[in-house]
Chains A and B, each alone.
Chain A
Amino acid sequence: MERIDEINRNFFTLFQEGRELLRKDVGAVMDAQREKALEEFKAHGIPYGCENYLYANLLPVLERDYNVSLRYVEQEVDLSEVFQCNVPCLDTHLLLTINGRFWRGNERPDVPEGVIVCGLAEASVKYKELFDKYYNQFTEPGRADGLVDLNTMLAQDGVFVYVPDGVVMERPLQIVNLARAKADLMSFQRNLVIVGKGAKATLLVCDHTLSDHYFLMNNLTEIVAGENALMDYYHVQNQHLGASQINSVFVSQRRNSRFEANVISLYGGFIRNNLYAALTEEGCECDLYGMYLSDKKQEVDNFTFIDHVAPNCRSNEHFKGVLDDSALANFAGVITVRPGAQKTEAYQANNNLLLTDTARVNTKPQLIIDADDVKCSHGATVGQIDEEAMFYLRSRGISLAEARMMMMFGFAHEIVGKVRLEPLRAKIDDLVDKRLRGELTKCHNCVLHCKQ
């Protein structure tokens, strides 16, 4: 507890000392939100031992002595380095961020007319009206979470996307978050994605570490899906063991909008995903899928919170994981149905495969229901590979190792199969296959030899 207090104080000091730098280059509203967040942070601090972080031990992650760079450091990026990790045949608008900052070398993507894609700091000045209307308006559900406040306090940049009403973006927008530093680094990135009425957008976020240091990324993305909008969010987390990630996504859905998230956690030291979705008007649909393959001493912690505010909405969640070595996976899902949100359908499932004696799983699916005309269910399982299925395969002459592989692949594919971008799906399947065979150590074909 003392350590936590100390960490809280350190952040507080960091904020005070960097106050002037933080004010630089950003709009008034973005800066004003920092003060609000500071008050909240003072009240809550880093979440420790609270219900939503019951099984997540942030202490070892936060205790490390990271550097925080509040100044923009110009970095050259060798695109070939990035493209090695890229998905073949996937045609996207590519944007890079480095250590949480929008890379100045990004070319202006060839997006449909009216679509705005730029750095968040730039948007806070240049597209003031849009920015001010939406910035930090949807983080309310993460109120008691000091990590959310920290992001609002310290994030200086990120990606801003605006898709106007009725515009359909055929090509996905791909954000590659790069982490590269000469010392251990903590970064804060803030994204804001606004999808207008009847618009359609796909966002693909990939994380990569380009140097062999300890990283802690505390990223936050706010997404607004307007009336009848369609929004797909894919996140492929593939970093190294020293990289820790706290990734919060807040989604606010309007009437008849549809949101789908797919979070694939392949590699990383400590990964915490917070997915918050608020279904604020009738007819919304929300699907959250997640898959995690963990080994060594990795820790993957998924937290989801679906808030059914309006009636006639549907939500579905499915998270699956395979745990090897001494990996730890936590899942906590909350579905709330507010009074009056009748005809809600909400489903939630979490399945885990434990492969070794030392792997652990904690799962906590929760339903909080205050309306009567609803269909809600949740389920969670923890177990090992079905013996009968194994016997079936073995009796057909398939080796033990291969049979296990097939079962695990099939288990994981249920989630990967939800990915609608064909090339990405093939790529993830390939990564999963390699990962399960132990051929993939960090990032497929990566030029670096990171710490294992």
Chain B
Amino acid sequence: MAKEQDEILNEVTEGEYKYGFVSNVKTDTIGKGLNESVIRLISEKKGEPEWLLEFRLKAYRHWLTMKMPTWAKLKIPPIDYQDIVYYAAPKQEAKKSWDEVDPELKATFDKLGIPLDEQKALAGVAVDAVMDSVSVKTTFKETLAERGVIFCSFSEAVKNHPDLVKRYLGSVVPYTDNFFAALNSAVFSDGSFVYIPKGVRCPMELSTYFRINAANTGQFERTLIVADDDSFVSYLEGCTAPQRDENQLHAAIVEIVVEKNAEVKYSTVQNWYPGDKEGRGGIYNFVTKRGLCRGENSKLIWAQVETGSAITWKYPSTILKGDGAVSEFYSVAVTNNYQQADTGTKMIHIGNNTRSRIVSKGISAGYSSNSYRGKVKVVKSCQNARNFSQCDSLLLGDKCGAHTFPYLEVANPTAQVEHEATTSKIGEDQIFYCNQRGISTEDAIGLIIKGYAGDVINKMPMEFAVEAQKLLQISLAGSVG
């Protein structure tokens, strides 16, 4: 039986990347390399105002003084930042109606199952599809506009709502924050902008698909979400990327501002190309995601399913500044073959009576390395903070690693901070129990993983939960589940 189990686990490693294809769309790129004139060129191509160019240049100059961080438990091959194309846009930007859009592009979206056409109104999903770096089409803008919700590409936001962008850009993740944040701030190409006005409950779930498409193009997305007083929004971000041999760099920034009594739910399914079975290729995913719960009783929920990328370096964090703010973090991270992930969260408790909850589930298989790294900090002036963290790791195979690095820093006695973590493998007795009841080993493993990740999957919006389940099966199984 153990052998059979091994075989099934082996199939786990056999599971090929389902979304690996290159779509044949003409792209407009600039040459490789990075210097001030490249930044000026990006800014010019996008027709940006002077202040944004200044922001980019300041970030670039600061980036030059920084070194790539080495503290993560990751083996990152040296990256030549001069060997990357910093700007690529599909050439069809000028199209007015959906019909004029390159059919191949549409087919790509169809393959991914993106609900972009009119019928999807029934599904209640508005999509801002990002192909490489520039938005192609945004749906339901009108419906959203009725309520005063702004949901558009970052470039549009810069043009149409400069005051808002200027006010919030860099307010949560300053360009000085870290190496990759500085890089992104200098060269970000596009992204999404969301503004939910006071008292508005966003009528539909907002969703964006990111795709890295042109070869050798780093993608530097920038997302900015602002939820004003008493508003609510659920934002979905999903990624798939075509199969490529050369490593691709992805350094995105997500900034979220949550005002008084507002609530934001940010869900991610990340399935970038993880490299092949020998660990060749794959995306480097170095992302800075941070939310600021600025107002009283604001709430921010992170839910993520991470199955892709060769290397993941990602810590969605929340600064709980307003009194009574709440933040939750739910994560499933799966690594297989030679994937490496160093991911987790930060909860910074500043306001009184703030609460946070962390549930992180890691699954490692093959030769992969999966680390949870999280920080819970309670500052001295913060009264009655409450945190609970749970970080579990599941090991499938004896060549992989699962690591846990929690940091708890408490400077106030009224805080209650708890952390617990376990590491284990699927027990033979668990499988035996299932077998006894007529469940095949294969199904049993699927069942156990489903149960294991259930806490997190259940927090995802419904459409995502389905996709996330599938992704877990694809990344881990081939046949599991």
A residues near B (Cβ < 8 Å) are 51, 55, 339-340, 342, 352, 354-384
Cβ contacts A to B, 7 pairs, < 8 Å? A354-B410, A360-B380, A360-B409, A364-B407, A367-B402, A372-B396, A376-B422
Shortest Cβ gap from B247 to chain A (Å)? 24
- Asked whether A380 lies within 8 Å of B418 as measured between CB atoms, the reply is yes
Grouping DSSP codes into helix (H, G, I), strand (E, B) and loop, the B interface class, with mixed when no group exceeds half, is strand
Shortest Cβ gap from A56 to chain B (Å)? 13
Among residues of A, the one whose C-beta sits closest to the C-beta of B376 is: A382
Known contacts A355-B413, A364-B405; 4 further A-B pairs (Cβ under 8 A): A368-B73, A377-B423, A379-B418, A383-B418
Known: A355-B413, A362-B409. Contact between A51 and B71, CB under 8 A? Answer: yes
- Asked whether A379 lies within 8 Å of B419 as measured between CB atoms, the reply is yes
Among residues of B, the one whose C-beta sits closest to the C-beta of A355 is: B413
- Asked whether B399 lies within 8 Å of A382 as measured between CB atoms, the reply is no
Tell me, yes or no, whether B52 is within 8 Å of chain A by CB. no
Known: A372-B396, A373-B398. Contact between A382 and B410, CB under 8 A? Answer: yes
- Asked whether B418 lies within 8 Å of A372 as measured between CB atoms, the reply is no
- Asked whether B416 lies within 8 Å of A372 as measured between CB atoms, the reply is no
Identify A361's interface contact among B380, B410, B418, CB under 8 A: B410
Tell me, yes or no, whether B169 is within 8 Å of chain A by CB. no
- Asked whether A360 lies within 8 Å of B411 as measured between CB atoms, the reply is yes
What's the A-B contact tally at a CB cutoff of 8 Å?
116
Shortest Cβ gap from B393 to chain A (Å)? 7
Q: Which of B380, B421, B423 has the most CB of A within 10 A?
A: B423
- Asked whether B395 lies within 8 Å of A374 as measured between CB atoms, the reply is yes
Tell me, yes or no, whether B37 is within 8 Å of chain A by CB. no
- Asked whether A367 lies within 8 Å of B395 as measured between CB atoms, the reply is no
Interface hits, B360-376 → A, CB 8 Å: none
- Asked whether B406 lies within 8 Å of A365 as measured between CB atoms, the reply is yes
- Asked whether A382 lies within 8 Å of B405 as measured between CB atoms, the reply is no
- Asked whether A375 lies within 8 Å of B424 as measured between CB atoms, the reply is yes
Among residues of A, the one whose C-beta sits closest to the C-beta of B390 is: A379
**Interface 1/0s, chain B 398-434, versus A by CB < 8 A?**
1111111111111111111111111111000000000
Chain B residues closer than 8 Å to A372, beta-carbon distance: 395-398, 400, 425
- Asked whether A354 lies within 8 Å of B419 as measured between CB atoms, the reply is no
- Asked whether A362 lies within 8 Å of B407 as measured between CB atoms, the reply is yes
Shortest Cβ gap from A323 to chain B (Å)? 8
Among residues of B, the one whose C-beta sits closest to the C-beta of A362 is: B409
- Asked whether A368 lies within 8 Å of B422 as measured between CB atoms, the reply is no
Give the CA-CA distance A374 to B422 in the complex, in Å: 10
- Asked whether B418 lies within 8 Å of A360 as measured between CB atoms, the reply is no
Q: Which of A369, A371, A372, A378 has the most CB of B within 10 A?
A: A372
Shortest Cβ gap from A41 to chain B (Å)? 23
- Asked whether B420 lies within 8 Å of A383 as measured between CB atoms, the reply is no
Shortest Cβ gap from A51 to chain B (Å)? 7
Shortest Cβ gap from B347 to chain A (Å)? 13
Known: A360-B411, A363-B408, A366-B403. Contact between A378 and B420, CB under 8 A? Answer: yes
Known: A361-B410, A382-B416. Contact between A367 and B421, CB under 8 A? Answer: yes
Give the CA-CA distance A352 to B419 in the complex, in Å: 12
Identify A365's interface contact among B73, B401, B419, CB under 8 A: B419
Chain A residues closer than 8 Å to B399, beta-carbon distance: 339
Among residues of A, the one whose C-beta sits closest to the C-beta of B396 is: A372
Known: A367-B402, A372-B400, A373-B398. Contact between A380 and B412, CB under 8 A? Answer: no
Identify A371's interface contact among B398, B411, B415, B422, CB under 8 A: B398
- Asked whether A369 lies within 8 Å of B393 as measured between CB atoms, the reply is yes
- Asked whether B423 lies within 8 Å of A367 as measured between CB atoms, the reply is yes
Chain B residues closer than 8 Å to A359, beta-carbon distance: 413
Shortest Cβ gap from A104 to chain B (Å)? 47
Give the CA-CA distance A340 to B401 in the complex, in Å: 11
Identify B419's interface contact among A51, A361, A381, CB under 8 A: A381
- Asked whether A383 lies within 8 Å of B415 as measured between CB atoms, the reply is yes
Among residues of B, the one whose C-beta sits closest to the C-beta of A341 is: B398
Shortest Cβ gap from A173 to chain B (Å)? 37
- Asked whether B422 lies within 8 Å of A377 as measured between CB atoms, the reply is yes
Shortest Cβ gap from A443 to chain B (Å)? 28
Among residues of A, the one whose C-beta sits closest to the C-beta of B402 is: A369
- Asked whether A354 lies within 8 Å of B404 as measured between CB atoms, the reply is no
- Asked whether B413 lies within 8 Å of A381 as measured between CB atoms, the reply is no
Give the CA-CA distance A31 to B462 in the complex, in Å: 69
Give the CA-CA distance A278 to B422 in the complex, in Å: 21
Give the CA-CA distance A363 to B418 in the complex, in Å: 11
Q: Which of A55, A356, A367, A373 has the most CB of B within 10 A?
A: A367
Chain B residues closer than 8 Å to A365, beta-carbon distance: 404, 406, 419, 421
Chain A residues closer than 8 Å to B410, beta-carbon distance: 352, 354, 360-362, 382
The 5 closest A-B pairs by CB, nearest first: A354-B413, A372-B395, A379-B420, A383-B416, A376-B423
Interface hits, B284-331 → A, CB 8 Å: none
Shortest Cβ gap from B163 to chain A (Å)? 41
Chain B residues closer than 8 Å to A380, beta-carbon distance: 406, 408, 417-420
Identify A366's interface contact among B393, B398, B404, CB under 8 A: B404
